[in-house]
Homo-oligomer: A and B are copies of this chain.
């Protein structure tokens, strides 16, 4: 590969003053405090009573299944991460200051970036693993605490387990980013891209794999259990029931924590890439001043982490309080308020009006951007809540539509899901325009304001993860109590209450996660443009560099009215559709295999139904594990290789069009799929609460079908679009220097594009050729039909 002068964000010109160094050390200290506090909190959760022997039995079955899955998943991931590490190394370029050749040569930059990539992947994987590991232990302890009749005790176990994961998520993210900035300083941004990519890649794997596992088990269990055999959910006789519980943990806990870890990391990466350049662009170029643009986002994350740490302890039910949502919301509000006070202090006290700025009130603008992020987080959560909670009209309309059967349930859910996407995306568009308004006429600074909106949203990541992880823990606690026959009296009341609250918090944080993912992607997209500009400038040479980046940035036109860019955009949109299609198909296919296995057990062990024989839980876990790992390859290859195909095949500007379309289509589809699924789920619950005929009525049967349709929407395809768009943006940033340097070497670039395209197409064809399990079922079903008449 020819030499390149600039990489992502390139060599950034700034010097860290003593205040900056002190603040970075402060960030690292906060991160370490959070990690220690997380560890202490974890110990206190693990020290709680683990319930009766039967509860323990079920819990360990879930733990074993989850561990077996995650071990095999990590082995598979390793097989993909190692070659990718080589690619990360190969695409690295020297990061040098053109003035004095300071910086990293190609080999060191490659080495450090690869290490950062591996560390990012390891952190993201660790978060996912911990989320799952702790959740499978906290669930039984929550159930045991509920048995004491004290709602707050149960809430504490579940929420502090979530808090542990939250503190680890934000703590590791902040630790990694601050350490990289402190160590590498002017070359940090190119190392950070590796860190972010590692985190995103693992999040994608955990989201897709976990999503397929959880919903295949869930749909399979429901289809054959509730629908065919007529036994309730979480009934111990169903051979798929443990797999279903395992799925909750590997899907929701591992996937979501790792997803928010990467949003946190990616937003930081984008801010650090943009910060210094944006400050320089508005004339702030003296001494340590430009470094403030880079330090501010990190300090804000530290402030938010501290605020979250305090607030996790605020979550405590008051005497007589029966609704667990109230203390949780109190905690969130306290975190937001502390975080905003901190933001004001840092923005006015530290940033203020930096010397040389051509724009007034820089500190105020930055504070307002953070505030806008907090508001956007609230708005995104409220929109999701409106469209997915049974307290509001959309979900009630969906439930009502059950009167005319499942078709109208599906139609009204799809219609409502599409509408929810409209308002969620409009909110993001308004936030972007808010960033623009704060930008004072400078495009680079405006993008930095948009990126800071992301910081505002994600500064309280720790408590958001706590809120989210609480959901599946409460859900599983109820399941374990049910299976071990403890779900009655106060225990039932407490656990049902926590489960309902958990569903709300899960839905709300999903809207939040999508919103922050889109903002993170937009910020990365700005970094993409900045990188094209910087590469162009550094090619011209040092003389024009000073102050020229801003002009060059303005001159980079990813012209969507250019046929090539437009073609790139069309293809970008298709990737989101193909990805969603594959994910939904994988769930359907695997669920079919689960159904066959459960039918086989019911047939071969007729005693299961009257409890004289025990079902074998292992095979369904095996099926889901194997399928999830097999099916995650194609979507992952799609995400990693399509930017390579477009970038080398059609050029960097077409890649820009491609990325823009993935963000637009991805934002719409992620909201649509997640919210439609959430609405169906809660529509079903609304009826199960006794409305419109209640459980067992025809209306209920209709909404159960809607709920099943929604399962892969909300827990597989929808949330996996978050890491998808970020992985594609990060891969683009990684390969961009190579694309630009090879842009006149048609043989090389077409060869790379063709190679990547062949791999993608082969993978899609292979994935499509997997015979649909519903088809294979024919033989089994025929066998079953053949046997039964003989018996009858």
The residues of A with any CB-CB pair to B shorter than 8 Å are: 219, 223, 227, 397, 400-401, 403-408, 410-412, 414-416, 418-419, 421-422, 425-426, 428-430, 432-433, 435-436, 439, 443, 446-447, 450, 522, 525-526, 528-529, 556-567, 569-574, 577-578, 580-582, 584-585, 587-588, 591-592, 595, 650, 656-657, 660-661, 664-665, 667-668, 672, 705, 708-709, 712, 772, 774-775, 777, 781
Contact = CB atoms under 8 A, between A and B. Distances in A.
Nearest to A528: B561
A436 B595 contact: no
A672 B563 contact: no
Contacts of A421: 574, 577
A410 B408 contact: no
A418 B581 contact: yes
B665 A668 contact: yes
Contact of A567 (B429, B585, B661): B429
B429 A570 contact: yes
B529 A432 contact: no
B416 A581 contact: yes
A584 B415 contact: yes
Given A412-B585, A432-B567, A592-B404, A426 B574 contact: yes
Given A407-B705, A566-B660, 7 more contacts: A418-B578, A432-B566, A432-B567, A436-B563, A557-B559, A561-B656, A664-B664
A404 B578 CA distance: 24
Contacts of A525: 561, 566
Nearest to A649: B433
B563 A446 contact: yes
B709 A410 contact: yes
B705 A419 contact: no
B665 A664 contact: yes
Contacts of A557: 557, 559, 561
A426 B561 CA distance: 18
A494 B584 CA distance: 40
Nearest to A572: B664
Contacts of A412: 585, 588, 772
B668 A577 contact: yes
A559 B447 CA distance: 14
A335 to B, nearest CB: 28
Closest 4 CB pairs of A and B: A557-B557, A407-B708, A418-B581, A429-B570
Contacts of A556: 559, 561
Given A411-B712, A429-B567, A401 B588 contact: yes
30 contacts: A223-B405, A227-B405, A397-B772, A404-B774, A405-B708, A406-B406, A410-B709, A411-B584, A411-B587, A411-B709, A412-B772, A414-B584, A414-B709, A415-B582, A415-B588, A418-B577, A419-B577, A425-B570, A429-B567, A429-B570, A429-B574, A432-B570, A433-B567, A439-B563, A447-B563, A525-B566, A557-B557, A558-B561, A560-B560, A665-B668
A44 B425 CA distance: 55
Contacts of A582: 415
Copies in the complex: 2
A46 to B, nearest CB: 39
Contact of A418 (B526, B562, B565, B580): B580
B404 A573 contact: no
Q: Which of A421, A564, A565, A581 has the most CB of B within 10 A?
A: A581
A208 to B, nearest CB: 15
Nearest to A526: B561
A710 B242 CA distance: 35
Given A426-B574, A577-B419, A563 B432 contact: yes
Contact of A571 (B429, B526, B708): B429
A645 to B, nearest CB: 11
A687 to B, nearest CB: 13
A705 B223 CA distance: 16
A400 B570 contact: no
A484 to B, nearest CB: 29
Nearest to A219: B407
B591 A404 contact: yes
Nearest to A581: B418
A228 to B, nearest CB: 9
A767 to B, nearest CB: 11
A343 B569 CA distance: 31
Contact of A404 (B406, B595, B650): B595
Contacts of A411: 584, 587-588, 708-709, 712
Given A405-B227, A570-B428, A433 B563 contact: yes
Contacts of A562: 443
A563 B400 contact: no
Nearest to A424: B574
A419 B777 contact: no
A349 to B, nearest CB: 28
A705 B708 CA distance: 14
Given A397-B774, A425-B570, A563 B705 contact: no
A529 B705 CA distance: 47
Q: Which of A561, A564, A708, A772 has the most CB of B within 10 A?
A: A561
Given A400-B775, A774-B397, A574 B408 contact: no
Q: Which of A429, A570, A672 has the most CB of B within 10 A?
A: A570
Given A397-B775, A570-B432, A591-B408, A450 B563 contact: yes
A415 to B, nearest CB: 4
Nearest to A411: B588
A762 to B, nearest CB: 16
Contacts of A416: 581, 585
Given A401-B774, A561-B556, A775-B397, A223 B581 contact: no
Given A560-B656, A563-B446, A563-B447, A574 B668 contact: yes
A629 B284 CA distance: 60
A621 to B, nearest CB: 20
Contacts of A578: 418-419, 422
A588 B413 CA distance: 11
Nearest to A565: B560
Given A664-B569, A709-B411, A581 B227 contact: no
Contacts of A429: 567, 570-571, 574
Contacts of A425: 570-571, 573-574, 577
A569 B774 CA distance: 40
Contact of A436 (B564, B592, B668): B564
A564 B554 CA distance: 13
A422 B669 CA distance: 14
A23 to B, nearest CB: 29
A348 B411 CA distance: 53
Contacts of A565: 560
Contacts of A667: 570, 573
Contacts of A592: 401, 404, 408
Contact of A705 (B573, B650, B672, B705): B705
A9 to B, nearest CB: 15
A653 B746 CA distance: 32
A310 B722 CA distance: 54
Contacts of A572: 664
A410 B403 CA distance: 19
